[in-house]
Structure 1
Amino acid sequence: MSNFCTNQAERHVVFKSINATFSPKHFHNFSITIKNNTVNMDMYIIRPLRRGYMAHLEYQMRLANAKLFQTIFSNKFDICNTVGSLKESIIKYWFKTMLKNGNFMQNCPVEVGHYYLHNWQMAVTHRFLQPAEYRCIARTYYGKYKSKTEDHVITFQIEAELMN
């Protein structure tokens, strides 16, 4: 994990905003908020999340005095394979930290039921990230991304600032 920075005195993340849209086909209830710079989420899944559950992540950055966000990274991946794999990544590391503050399953299928994340903080950032405002847009789905076969599950948009 030598690419990660864990010294909080050196760097820290401040959450600015968070919102989500979800499919009532997959969730009975879904709420997500920021309180005291921690993320809190409660959801009730009404349909199991199974293999083939995909995500499209887009990371954007806005430097000081810039008006617009610029995309710095965009990627699609299979959520079940990523969470269940042995390969370490920043996504898997963040998921592991979420396990300490929530009751998420570590494998697929994710069964029907109530899941939560309470008082989660982003404690680790990648060293190559410079102080700036960041936006992450995560769209989860089944099928083919942005096509007629896409079955939208949930979309998150999180804005945060990385500071020294």
Structure 2
Amino acid sequence: MAETLRYPPNVLLGDYARAMAGLALTALPLALLQVTPWIAGPLALCALLFAVFALRTAQRQMTRVTMDEEALRAEGPLGATIRWDALSDLRLRYYATKRGRDDGWMQATLIGRGSTIRIDSNLDGFDAVIERAVTAVRTNGLRLSRVTIDNLLALGITPPEPLPEDTPS
């Protein structure tokens, strides 16, 4: 039976609010005021970054992630399917918003047969996806980076056999 996972609306609304605030602070001065080129350039670049963030948020809103015993599927814009028996890499990264790693999010990248799916820890059911991916890593005999292993431990998920210390992360 397939499990359907989505990003919670409150997370998406917060991201939309940040994107719109950023666009208001950067694009509105460009549209309403006459600014010098040395100010307009950085404002335009920041406006572009906020616009990309808004598009990425819309893409996350339209994406439905389904997981079953056979595969992980991201259905929507830039969708992909990765069969568990074809999983060839799992990367788990932590991004801190504060210096002491007190707050932040994780991003998982799953790769298999030319397809890539990226999900972040705001996805409802993120831990279940990672647990299933680790099962596939064990079954497929894959080796994980030290960073991924450390992040699995931080999630409370037992990783496959640890890597030797000389393996690059």
Q: TM-score, normalised by structure 2?
A: 0.21
Give the structure with the larger strand fraction.
Answer: 1
Q: Which has the higher helix share?
A: 2
Larger Rg: 2
User: Taking structure 1 as the reference length, what is the TM-score of the superposition?
Assistant: 0.21
